[in-house]
Amino acid sequence: MKYVIFDDEKRCSFFPLTFTHSTGDLRVGILKLRQRILAKFSILETNVIIWSDLEKMYRERHSNWSVNELSNGETIFINSRLQIDEVTKNEIKNLQIGEKLQLNDEVLAAKILTKSTKVTSEKLTELFTDLQNIPTKSGKLWRYNWEFISQNAEMIQNDFNKYFYNRKNYFEVSPSTTVLNPYNVWFGSKVELKPGVVLDATNGPIIIDEGARILSNAVIVGPVYIGKKSVIKANSIIDEGTTIGAICKIGGEVEHSIIQGYTNKQHSGFLGHSYLGEWVNLGANTSNSDLKNNYKNVKSYFYPEQKRIDTKNQFVGCVIGDHSKTGINVAINTGTVIGVGCNLFGQLLLKNFVSSFSWGDASNVIKYEKNKFLETAVYVKKRRGLDFSENEKELYSKIHDYIFTKSDKKMEGK
């Protein structure tokens, strides 16, 4: 039996993050959506079906994965947006060949006798069309970026209980570290804590992964996950509900936020109830609002409807796509969405929606020229000893062309 995790047509619901990531690679809690499904089913091989524009980059980055390839035999397909639980897991296990687990008109999973062939997310509807519908009794799908933010604290706790609590723990601290509820703290190997660090796991777990460094007088209040080789700067406050991916440098105050990886927020400034992609850089004193002054629900831009909609949440900060940057003292309004590849500065409030590849301040945003963006992106990755590959250049060039021509509707999942 082979398992395949697929991205469906709702990819556009998670723009700008999924301009450059598979839906399954979005992180909530400790794990990415794909990783949580793999762990739940104890799947050892990674087989994914993603959108064609991402394929070259994913093949390059994950040479040991099967990307957009099917083989002969029984295959179970699982939607990467699935909020997996025991009931839904058993429903999927009980599927017969030719059946699909359905939630209204959306496919959660399917079991098919496949032949060796190539397939992308664009062609999945054809693959599932003639299957017998099996209604789910409990299955749920992720639908909005702000759902990740609002549920992140709970997901950190759940992931800790299921996947980390019984793993080998390298927890060890010096007398200069204050730890509250040490049984709720987990360290990977080679974690480094400088003097004066406070770890408060009273109300939720603190997971500090392999090679992470916590500098002097930082305060971490769980539930919090800090990814591999990330650095928490001195005097920082990392508050509950925060997930920080691998190889980030984070300072100032952060709460109820998710950061994918390779992102810098090194200086003072507040980040709350927000979701940041990779290679984002926030300048000193960049801060965002996550609560309206009238305490009403926050509206946020939703790409499929091309307008702001009610999130049904009182706390929503900002969403920022990959390779976007802010200058010093930038202020970001409640519910603001900033696309990929932006370079933003100035003292005026950024609000509502900033399209990808925008350059300037809130009063005068112009087109960020493709060649200038690519030049900066190459330099940014070179500083970390990484290459901005030809496949990445191709993807970002395609996104840039889409933004300014709207010619490639496949990127919206349409």
Question: 307 in a domain, yes or no?
Answer: yes
pLDDT at position 266: 95
- Residue 367 and residue 266 in one domain: yes
Sign of CA dihedral 169, 210, 260, 9: negative
Phi, psi of 52 (to 5 degrees): -60, -35
Phi-psi region of 224 (alpha: psi -120 to 50; beta: other; left: phi over 0): beta
- The distance from CA 142 to its chain's CA centroid, rounded to whole angstroms, is 12
Question: 93 in a domain, yes or no?
Answer: yes
- Domain range holding 285? 146-382
Question: 81 in a domain, yes or no?
Answer: yes
- Residue 134 and residue 150 in one domain: no
pLDDT at position 410: 41
pTM (two decimals): 0.95
Residue finishing a domain among 120, 143, 166 = 143
Type of residue at 344 = L
What is the CATH classification number for the domain harbouring 302?
2.160.10.10
Question: 239 in a domain, yes or no?
Answer: yes
- Residue 40 and residue 67 in one domain: yes
Q: Where are the alpha helices (DSSP H) in 302-389?
A: 370-383
pLDDT at position 405: 80
Q: Please state, in angstroms and rounded to a whole number, the distance separating the CA atoms of residues 171 and 169.
A: 5
Tell me how many domains the chain contains.
2
Residue finishing a domain among 97, 126, 143 = 143
- Residue 129 and residue 190 in one domain: no
* Residue pair 68/49 in contact by the 8 Å Cβ criterion: yes
- Residue 21 and residue 152 in one domain: no
Nearest to 376 by CA among 365, 361, 392: 392
Question: To the nearest whole number, what is the mean pLDDT of the chain?
Answer: 95
- Residue 163 and residue 125 in one domain: no
pLDDT at position 413: 39
pLDDT at position 336: 98
Q: Which helix (H) or strand (E) holds 392?
A: helix 390-405
Q: Please state, in angstroms and rounded to a whole number, the distance separating the CA atoms of residues 71 and 334.
A: 47
Report, as an integer, the average pLDDT of 140-150: 97
- Residue 38 and residue 163 in one domain: no
Type of residue at 10 = K
Question: 236 in a domain, yes or no?
Answer: yes
pLDDT digits (tens, 9 = 90+) for 79-136: 999 999 999 999 999 999 999 999 999 999 999 999 999 999 999 989 999 999 999 9
- Residue 191 and residue 262 in one domain: yes
pLDDT at position 406: 62
Q: For residue 414, is pLDDT > 50?
A: no
Question: 406 in a domain, yes or no?
Answer: no
Residue finishing a domain among 109, 126, 143 = 143
- Residue 150 and residue 130 in one domain: no
Report, as an integer, the average pLDDT of 376-387: 94
Question: 270 in a domain, yes or no?
Answer: yes
Q: For residue 75, is pLDDT > 80?
A: yes
Tokens of 191: 């974690």
Q: For residue 409, is pLDDT > 70?
A: no
Question: 412 in a domain, yes or no?
Answer: no
Q: Nearest 5°: CA angle at 130, between 303 and 141? A: 35
- Residue 179 and residue 214 in one domain: yes
What is the CATH classification number for the domain harbouring 46?
3.90.550
Lowest mean pLDDT among 164-173, 217-226, 298-307: 164-173
Q: For residue 180, is pLDDT > 60?
A: yes
- Residue 43 and residue 157 in one domain: no
- Residue 127 and residue 208 in one domain: no
Q: Are strands 364-367 and 358-361 parallel, antiparallel or unpaired?
A: antiparallel
